[in-house]
Amino acid sequence: MTNAKLTALMARGTQFLGCDSAILCGAMSWVSERHLVSAMSNAGGFGVIACGAMTPALLDAEITATKALTTKPFGVNLITMHPQLFDLIDVCASHDVTHIVLAGGLPPKGSIEAIKAKGAKLICFAPALALAKKLARSGVDALIVEGHEAGGHIGPVATSVLAQEILPEMSEQLPVFVAGGIGRGEAIAAYLEMGAAGVQLGTRFACATESIAHPAFKKAFFRASARDAIASVQIDPRLPVIPVRALKNVGMENFTAKQREVANLLDSGSVDMGEAQLQIEHFWAGALRRAVIDGDVDGGSLMAGQSVGMVTKEEPVADIIAQLMAEAAVALERRAA
């Protein structure tokens, strides 16, 4: 009976995504590749490939490899500032990718049309109600509302506040998925009851058995508690720095030095603001790679959300989804009683 309620509350999300459980595994650069993505979709959730800084040829190969591991739908996350964004959209179209998630800012001119012309559904991040309305008006098919608790690049507002501001206003118009700080099914039940079509989790899946993250990366997650996942600090107000949440380590301190270096380059006129932003993003991409792939947990970036304290061991993706669904079902049952 209660499972029926959970199924009903998730129906809009599952229909939109074409899967059994309206739980997305948010794209995580270097982590969300063929293995984690296919495991997620095969387990009834929804996997998303992180394109990050991949070239069109690399993305093409990753989609092909993912398709070889699953026949279920999955998405591709593209970063708006990628210099070859339109070529990447073409690669997705050539594979009939059903869902594209655009991250890193508002969709550049022409990108919404390019994505939708080829039949894919477009999901965008809405960091505020005004932007949610603007994105809906411009033809975006679904929204992700992601709060400050999340791992990776973050906005300034808590998930709970964004959910209260955006769900009542937007959830009738289009499916809205809530992300950031979700570690258990009780929270999923609550957001579904508030009108969410589903949820997106990253941190909780980063250390799944199928994740290729280095054992040292996973171990750092298992040891960490919520307060270890801190937001980076901006040292120069001129720098267009989007804060990043990651586990406190030397790599996090190196970011302060990197900002000083880029600020000095700006002062000397040797780079402009666009190049400065690109240098900052390259810093993070390189640091994350060193931690995820090479296992450098001191000098690399251990991007993680505050839900990291709820990640205690390596588990198959299917078990994590089953746990989250069971917890959500029990929570709904309790309320009904």
User: Of 92, 132, 192, 303, which lies in the binding site for ligand FMN, with binding defined by CB under 6 A?
Assistant: 303
Binding of residue 300 to ligand FMN (CB under 6 A)? no
Binding of residue 62 to ligand FMN (CB under 6 A)? no
Geometric angle at alpha carbon 14, from 12 and 15, rounded to 5°: 65
Using CB under 6 A, which residues numbered 310 to 329 contact ligand FMN? none
Binding of residue 175 to ligand FMN (CB under 6 A)? no
Residue 158 burial (CB < 10 Å; 0-12/13-18/19+)?
middle
> CA-CA distances (angstroms) from residue 111 to 20, 38, 133, 145?
29, 26, 18, 20
Binding of residue 27 to ligand FMN (CB under 6 A)? yes
Based on CB atoms, which residue is closest to ligand FMN, 44 or 52? 52
Shortest distance in whole angstroms from residue 203 CB to ligand FMN: 3
Based on CB atoms, which residue is closest to ligand FMN, 5 or 79? 79
Please state, in angstroms and rounded to a whole number, the distance separating the CA atoms of residues 193 and 195: 5
Geometric angle at alpha carbon 234, from 229 and 240, rounded to 5°: 115
Site string for ligand FMN, 96-135 (x = CB under 6 A): -------x--------------------------------
Binding of residue 201 to ligand FMN (CB under 6 A)? yes
Binding of residue 249 to ligand FMN (CB under 6 A)? no
Shortest distance in whole angstroms from residue 174 CB to ligand FMN: 18
CB of 194 within 8 A of CB of 19?
no
Secondary structure (DSSP) of 176-192? EEEESS--SHHHHHHHH
Shortest distance in whole angstroms from residue 254 CB to ligand FMN: 17
Shortest distance in whole angstroms from residue 269 CB to ligand FMN: 31
Based on CB atoms, which residue is closest to ligand FMN, 5 or 74? 74
Binding of residue 44 to ligand FMN (CB under 6 A)? no
Please state, in angstroms and rounded to a whole number, the distance separating the CA atoms of residues 138 and 254: 39
Based on CB atoms, which residue is closest to ligand FMN, 77 or 259? 77
Geometric angle at alpha carbon 305, from 302 and 306, rounded to 5°: 120
User: Is the Cα dihedral 171, 4, 193, 25 positive or negative?
Assistant: negative
Binding of residue 31 to ligand FMN (CB under 6 A)? yes
Binding of residue 304 to ligand FMN (CB under 6 A)? yes
User: Of 21, 41, 77, 259, which lies in the binding site for ligand FMN, with binding defined by CB under 6 A?
Assistant: 77
CB of 2 within 8 A of CB of 84?
no
Please state, in angstroms and rounded to a whole number, the distance separating the CA atoms of residues 302 and 252: 9
Binding of residue 26 to ligand FMN (CB under 6 A)? yes
Element (H, E) at 334: helix 317-336
Q: Which residues bind ligand FMN (CB under 6 A)?
A: 26-29, 31, 50, 52, 77, 103, 146, 149-152, 179-182, 200-204, 206, 303-305, 307
